[in-house]
Amino acid sequence: MGINGNTNNTLNSTKKNLSRNKRIPKILENQILKALSHYPELKRTNIRFVFTRKLKSSIMAARPVVHTLLGPRGKRAYEILIKPVFKLTHTIQPIHRISDEVLIGWIGHELGHIMDYEQRSTFSVAKFGLLYLISKPYIRKAERVADTFAVNRGMGSYILATKDYILSNSELPQKYKDKIAKLYLSPDDIVELVAKMEKKKSNAIREELIKEETDIVEEIKS
């Protein structure tokens, strides 16, 4: 088997692993798989990506499948609802026409919500749903938690691309942009979070190198 054959087998294997227990629309498959690759913790989690026109004030929304909350946590299922088109000032934008980077960031944010749900008890998920409906401060906290999960998994550039697309797009309704600016992490917040994460990573690497050097010195002494 040649190099191309080996490469194709590797890609197919990776794709199969990422799509396990997932229902993914073909038109967004590449972007969804790329976002999922940043969340190895969700490898076995049952997630359905569903196009729907029922979303009113959001482009995407992550929700638990309610009846699965009654069973074991490992058997839970989730849906990421996706609006297939959204209205701009003068036209309608099909979701799949948005740039890959922006779409990956949007999906990565919703996967951040699922990470949050996965760590909650059934009661806590139910409480989350109620407070999300009635409390703006709680919405703000929940959305920032989802952004933070995504950034901490190396998706900072994608989340920034999504925010930039929304906040700088003159064709998007101002009401929607105001909501995003008020409730979600700002671009500056994301940059700061990425910097902190990189600093922690650098410190961890430095500590690991120091330990290795110390071990070598001790070995030479003995």
Structural domains of the chain, count:
1
Copy the structure tokens of residue 209.
């190198």
176 has which bridge partners? none
What is the structure's pLDDT at 146?
Answer: 92
What is residue 20's three-state secondary structure? coil
What is the structure's pLDDT at 4?
Answer: 56
What is the structure's pLDDT at 52?
Answer: 94
- What is d(CA 75, CA 73) in angstroms, rounded to the nearest whole number? 5
* Residue 203 vs residue 154, higher pLDDT: 154
- What is d(CA 112, CA 65) in angstroms, rounded to the nearest whole number? 16
Query: Does any domain span residue 220?
Result: no
Q: Residue 111: which domain range?
A: 3-134
For the chain, report the end-to-end CA distance as a whole number of angstroms: 49
Query: Does any domain span residue 179?
Result: no
User: What's the one-letter identity of residue 177?
Assistant: K
- pTM for the model: 0.84
**Please, which pLDDT band fits residue 89 given cuts at 50, 70 and 90?**
confident
Query: Does any domain span residue 10?
Result: yes
Calculate mean pLDDT across residues 38-63. Answer: 92
Query: Does any domain span residue 22?
Result: yes
Query: Does any domain span residue 199?
Result: no
Query: Does any domain span residue 129?
Result: yes
Query: Does any domain span residue 149?
Result: no
